[in-house]
Structure 1
Amino acid sequence: MLRLENLSCGYGPVVAVEDVSFDLPERSSLALLGPNGAGKTSTIMAIMGHTTIHGGRILFNDQDITRLPPVKRVDLGIALVPEGRRLFTDLTVEENLTVGGYRLSVQRDKINRQRVYDLFPRLSDRRKQTAGSMSGGEQQMLAMGRALMTEPKLLLIDELSLGLMPKMVDLCFDALAALKQDGVTILLVEQNTTRALDFAENVCVMTSGSLAFSGTSKQAKADENLFDVFISAAHE
C-alpha cells in the first residue's frame, strides 16, 4: 500500500531525513522507532505532504503522491493523528469530529461519528464537552476519532502514548488493535518500544535521519544490538 523509495526530506533547505526506504503492505502495521531527533516525525509528515522533498518518491497504492497536496492525500485515504493532538480546544467533542468529517455528506458524517463513538464510548458520553476540558487520554481518543472521520485506509499516528496514564495507553492500543482487525493499515511512531513491538508486525528504527534497522517485530526483539542503537544515538 505505502512505499518510500530513497526518501530525503526536511524543512526548507534543511534535510531531516535522508535516503529512507520501506514498504508497508495493505492491512498490516509498522512501528517507526528511534531516539528523539531521529527523523520519525519528519518521515510521516512527508507522507502527509507537510515537508520539503529533496529526493526519492512516496507511493500510495502504486500512485506517486510525492508532490500531491495534503488534502488530496486525505481524499486518497491517508489520515494523521499528530503528536500533541492539535485539537480545537474550545470546540466540543462533537464539533471536533464534524471538523474531521467536513468533506463528508451529512449521512456519512453521521455514520462515521457513530463508529467513533462505538470505538470510544467515553467520547459519546462527553460529546457536548469541550476538548480542552478533557484529560490527555480522552483528547488522544478524540484526535484518533477526528482522523477516523475521514475514512482512512492508512492511519499515521505520531506518539500515541506520550504523556498518557497506563490505563489510557491500554484503551488507545485496544482501539488500534480493533482498527487493524477491521483492515486499516497503520504506521505508528511510538516512544514506548515494548508496546510498539507488541502491536506492530513490522519495525523500522531510525537514527540521525536514516534507517538503522528494518524487519519484523520478532526479528527486532531478537536483535541484541538494537537497544545499543538507541543508547548510542542518545549520546551523540
Structure 2
Amino acid sequence: MLKLENVNCGYGSVEAVHNVSFEVPSASVFALLGPNGAGKTSTIMAIMGHVDVHGGRIFLEGEDITRRRAIDRVGLGISLVPEGRQLFSDLTVDENLTAGGYARPIARDAVKRDRVFSYFPRLFERRTQLAASLSGGEQQMLAIGRALMAEPRLLLVDELSLGLMPKMVDLCLAALLQLKREGMTIVLVEQNTARALDVADQVCVLSSGVQVYQGTATEAKAAGSMFATFLGVNESV
C-alpha cells in the first residue's frame, strides 16, 4: 500500500528525517516508534504532503506521490488523524464530521456518518454537542471519525493515546483493529510502545531522524530490553 524510499524531509532548510525506507502492506497496522524528536511526526506529515521532501520518493500502491499536493493525496485515499486532535472546537460533532468529508461527494455523507457512529456510538449520543465540550477520549474518537469521513484506504494516526485514560485508548485501538479487519491500512505513531506492539503487525523505530530498527511486532517483543535501547529507554518494553 505504502512505500518510502530513502526519504529525507523537513521544514525549509532544516532536515528532520534522513534516508528513511519502509514498506507498509495493505490491511495492516504499521507502528512508527521512537523517542521525542525522533522524526515520527515529520515522517507521516511528509506522507500526507504537509512537510517538504528533500530527497527520496513516496509511493502509494506503486504510484509516485512525492510531489502531489495534500488535497490530491486525500483524493487518492490518504487521511490524517493529527497529534493533539486539532478539532474545530466551536463546531458540533456533526459539523466536524461534515468538514472531514469535504473532499468526497456530499451524497455519501449519511452513509459515512453512520459508519463512524457504528465504531463510536458515544459520538452519536453527542452529535449536537460542541467539540470543545467533549472529553479527551471523545475528542480522539471524533478526530478519527473526521478522518474516516474522507473514506481513506490509508489512515495516518499521530499519537493516539496522548493524554487519554486507558479505557479510552482501548476503545480507539479496538476501532483501528476493526478498520484493519475491514481492509484499511494504518500507520500509527504512538508513545505507548507496549500498546503499539499489541496492535501492530510491523514496527519501525526512528532516532534523531534516522531509522534504527525495523521488524515485526512479534520480533520486537521477543527482543525485550534490546529493543528498548532503540527507543532510548532503559527498561524492557
The interval holding the TM-score normalised by the smaller chain is: over 0.9
4+ runs deviating over 4 angstroms: none
In the TM superposition, what whole-angstrom CA distance separates every residue of 1:37-78 from its partner, at most 9, and x where no partner exists? 000000000000111111000000110000000000000000
Corresponding residue number in structure 2 for 1:76: 76
What amino acid is aligned across from residue 50 of structure 1 in structure 2? Answer: H
With normalisation by structure 2, the TM-score equals 0.96
Equivalents in 1 of 2:98, 2:63: separation in Å?
29
Corresponding residue number in structure 1 for 2:23: 23
CA shift at 1:230, angstroms?
2.2
Corresponding residue number in structure 1 for 2:65: 65
Map 1:40-51; keep pairs closer than 5 Å: 40-51=40-51
Which is worse superposed, 96-105 or 10-19? Answer: 96-105
**What RMSD over aligned residues (CA atoms) do the two structures have, in Å?**
1.1
In the TM superposition, what whole-angstrom CA distance separates every residue of 1:174-211 from its partner, at most 9, and x where no partner exists? 11111111110000000000010010110001101011
Which is worse superposed, 55-64 or 104-113? Answer: 104-113
Equivalents in 1 of 2:147, 2:105: separation in Å?
16
CA shift at 1:231, angstroms?
2.7
Gaps of 5+ in 2: none
CA shift at 1:81, angstroms?
0.1
> Does the alignment pair 1:227 with 2:228?
yes
Equivalents in 2 of 1:123, 1:91: separation in Å?
14
Equivalents in 2 of 1:15, 1:101: separation in Å?
32
What amino acid is aligned across from residue 188 of structure 1 in structure 2? Answer: L
Equivalents in 1 of 2:171, 2:75: separation in Å?
28
With normalisation by structure 1, the TM-score equals 0.97
Corresponding residue number in structure 2 for 1:34: 34
Which is worse superposed, 97-106 or 143-152? Answer: 97-106
Give the secondary structure class of the aligned counterpart of 2:232: helix
Equivalents in 1 of 2:54, 2:98: separation in Å?
35
CA shift at 1:104, angstroms?
2.6
Equivalents in 2 of 1:115, 1:49: separation in Å?
26
Map 1:81-160; keep pairs closer than 5 Å: 81-160=81-160
Equivalents in 2 of 1:86, 1:105: separation in Å?
23
Task: Give the conservation status (yes or no) of the 8 Å contact 2:34–2:232.
Answer: no
In the TM superposition, what whole-angstrom CA distance separates every residue of 1:72-107 from its partner, at most 9, and x where no partner exists? 000000000000001000000000000001233333
Equivalents in 2 of 1:193, 1:138: separation in Å?
22
Q: Percent identity?
A: 63
With over 3 angstroms needed to count, the CA separation of the structure-2 counterparts of 1:232 and 1:129, relative to structure 1, is closer
Equivalents in 2 of 1:11, 1:176: separation in Å?
30
Task: Give the conservation status (yes or no) of the 8 Å contact 2:213–2:230.
Answer: no
State the aligned residue count. 233
Gaps of 5+ in 1: none
CA shift at 1:232, angstroms?
6.3
